[in-house]
Structure 1
Amino acid sequence: MAASTASRLSPPRFHVPPRSPHPPLRRSRFSLVRAAKLEAVLSIGTHLIPHPRKAASGGEDAFFANSDAGGVFAIADGVSGWAEKDVNPALFSRELMRNSSNFLNDEEVNGDPQILLMKAHAATSSIGSATVIIAVLEKSGTLKIASVGDCGLKVIRKGQVMFSISPQEHYFDCPYQISSEAAGQTYQDALVCSVNLMDGDMIVSGSDGLFDNIFDQEIISTISESSGVDEAAKALAELARKHSVDVTFDSPYSMEARSKGFDVPWWKKLLGAKLIGGKMDDITVVVAQVKTVAVPDEGGDIEEQKGNEQGIAVA
């Protein structure tokens, strides 16, 4: 009986294989992947239609656009009054835009449109003046704007104008302007603002030839019917040109003129007449769409957990 009990209480025996000199590799639940971050960039389309009487010379508007980094664009509208002094108004606006493009990567500018305007203006030697707008998109999605005069900019989000800048005027039809003359405005007079943008936002900017001849709702509908930024810019410019030569179109320009006291003589008013029609001008249009892209993060690799949590970590 005792022997039987002792037998039952003996510890069980297990076969233990000899340990291999090369232990098996354990499969890790983690693997190295390249980290990525989201950056905002602009897809930009442009179109310019000169004033009908200035088509041979290309008009007096000038612009540049660059999609490097986040993206930047600028428009300068040469003031036509200089032609009365035998000065070509296009020379100033074109040189101002050329200098803006040249100083874009200047260390002092550092993505600031107001500083870019300062340096471009200081380097411009042509006689004349121009209204101007410069817009720079930071990779974070913030659009920084510096504007002198009545070039316009609107941001359209989900079929609505959610941001618009106001023109600067001394009085009706006499906007602020960057000038070669000491009495003119400088970068210090610029309207400076910024707006946070989202993926898919549309930016519509242009000289006054666009916004004097086209209403916001027309801009929205034209954008929605266009397949891309190039087509949208061209369609907006052509619609503005069509309105500009239509003497029966009650344009934004004619409506503003009446609101400022400009109208037909009183005796024409008695006959039911009123100041009406589009405004012929150079028409420059920039349409840009905000897109967010994932780019490699130069900070290095990160570990990614396998299984149900697979995916690249996005900062």
Structure 2
Amino acid sequence: MQSIYWTGRLLSRALWNGISNYTACTDPCANKRREASFVSAVCGFPKDFARGRIRKGQFGDDAWFNAKFKTVEVLGVADGVGGWRHYGIDPGEFSNFLMRTCERLVTMGRFTPSEPAGLLARSYYELLENKQPIPGSSTACVIVLNKETSSIYAANIGDSGFVVVRRGEVVHRSSEQQHYFNTPFQLSSPPPGHSGLVLSDRPEAADTSSFGVEDGDVILLATDGVFDNVPDQLLVTEMRKVQGERDPTKLQGVANSIAWMARSLAFDGAFMSPFAQNARENGIDAIGGKPDDITVLLATVAI
């Protein structure tokens, strides 16, 4: 009963946090260049309902943000590395600080829209310089939409990422960065005396890309709790349902569906998940999903 209660509460929070960023252009602006815009929604679940966060901007150790500045819209996710919990460190504090700082920098215009890796870098270095130490590690992915040029600029470090579906087919996706199996690239802030013992990558190592978007494109930005548990064909099937969709309620429904699918498969011990398949390719006999925090940001492009 408690799980049902928390699930309902989290779904309600996801619906409350759904984002609608589309404004129709009426006759007075008919002769102006049509700008691109996101219609977007968010949903997610913490791995542990009993201890997981449900506040805005976080699902467990995952964090996310959306922000605007003039002709730019930005979406981002970060996945706090849960292993820090064994050392008495809250993994969600690092990822949350990273995303909240990105959000602030965007709304203040203190970033270069064509350089999302620079946005991550500035947020990360602010974290390192914070008077109150915030130890931990996190993967991160940020995408920036230039509304005037209908262009996306993306930066990804680690195994969070994005997928773009156009007319039912995947046309763009991020590249996963792994040092070795189940050890993604990550931004880190080690506790004093542990610098040499902690894996840490520079934000400049992020994989970057840029591409044009078209009216109706569907973009999924998510943490590895989604990609490790939901096969690509299932993700694309869900994303096709909202191609060209401008109704935020319908978009929210599919975001909820993807998040719940990831949650269900993560705890299915008999399912051959993408994570289990990758484990077998690396000589590890595995089956089942990978329980993890789950964050889904789903957006369509309206021009």
Query: Into which bin does the TM-score normalised by the smaller protein fall?
Result: 0.7 to 0.9
Greater CA deviation, 231-240 or 179-188? 179-188
Give the gaps of 5 or more residues in structure 1: 1-31, 264-274, 293-315
What's the Cα RMSD here? 2.0
Q: Give runs of aligned pairs for residues 69-218 of structure 1, distance below 5 A.
A: 69-111=71-113, 112-124=115-127, 125=130, 126-139=134-147, 140-181=149-190, 184-218=200-234
Contact 1:76 1:207 in 2 (8 A): yes
Q: Does the residue aligned with 2:211 lie in a helix, a strand or coil?
A: strand
Q: What is the CA–CA distance in structure 2 between the aligned matches of 1:154 and 1:208, rounded to whole Å? A: 12
Q: Deviations over 1:16-57 (max 9, x none)?
A: xxxxxxxxxxxxxxxx99841121111111111100366444
Q: What is the CA–CA distance in structure 2 between the aligned matches of 1:137 and 1:177, rounded to whole Å? A: 24
Q: Aligned pair in 2 of structure 1 residues 110, 281: CA closer, same or farther (>3 Å)?
A: same
TM-score, length-normalised on structure 2?
0.78
Give the Å deviation of 1:123. Answer: 1.3
Partner of 1:240: 262
Task: Give the counterpart letter for 1:167 in structure 2.
Answer: E
1:39 aligns with 2:41: no
Task: Give the counterpart letter for 1:141 in structure 2.
Answer: S
Q: What is the CA–CA distance in structure 2 between the aligned matches of 1:173 and 1:281, rounded to whole Å? A: 13
Q: Deviations over 1:70-115 (max 9, x none)?
A: 4211001000111111100011011111101010144551313112
Q: What is the CA–CA distance in structure 1 between the aligned matches of 2:177 and 2:52, rounded to whole Å? A: 30
Partner of 1:279: 290
Contact 2:165 2:240 in 1 (8 A): no
TM-score, length-normalised on structure 1?
0.75
Q: What is the CA–CA distance in structure 1 between the aligned matches of 2:67 and 2:254, rounded to whole Å? A: 18
Q: Does the residue aligned with 1:246 lie in a helix, a strand or coil?
A: coil
Give the Å deviation of 1:187. Answer: 1.6
Q: What is the CA–CA distance in structure 2 between the aligned matches of 1:56 and 1:36, rounded to whole Å? A: 46
Contact 2:141 2:160 in 1 (8 A): yes
Contact 2:161 2:175 in 1 (8 A): yes
Give the Å deviation of 1:179. Answer: 1.0
Give the Å deviation of 1:224. Answer: 3.2
Q: Deviations over 1:215-269 (max 9, x none)?
A: 1111122223457321221110000101001011110000010011111xxxxxx
Provide the aligned length of Structure 1 versus Structure 2. Answer: 250
Task: Give the counterpart letter for 2:218 in structure 1.
Answer: M
Q: Aligned pair in 2 of structure 1 residues 200, 97: CA closer, same or farther (>3 Å)?
A: same
Q: What is the CA–CA distance in structure 2 between the aligned matches of 1:70 and 1:104, rounded to whole Å? A: 9
Contact 1:156 1:220 in 2 (8 A): yes
Q: Deviations over 1:173-199 (max 9, x none)?
A: 000001114661122111111121110
Q: Does the residue aligned with 1:199 lie in a helix, a strand or coil?
A: coil
Q: Does the residue aligned with 1:36 lie in a helix, a strand or coil?
A: coil
Question: What percent identity do the matched residue pairs reach?
Answer: 33
1:252 aligns with 2:274: yes
Contact 1:50 1:60 in 2 (8 A): yes
Which structure has more helix as a fraction of its residues? Answer: 2
Q: Does the residue aligned with 1:103 lie in a helix, a strand or coil?
A: helix
Give the Å deviation of 1:66. Answer: 2.7
1:49 aligns with 2:45: yes
Q: What is the CA–CA distance in structure 1 between the aligned matches of 2:73 and 2:222, rounded to whole Å? A: 16
Q: Aligned pair in 2 of structure 1 residues 262, 158: CA closer, same or farther (>3 Å)?
A: same
Q: What is the CA–CA distance in structure 2 between the aligned matches of 1:120 and 1:67, rounded to whole Å? A: 16
Give the gaps of 5 or more residues in structure 2: 1-27, 55-59, 243-248
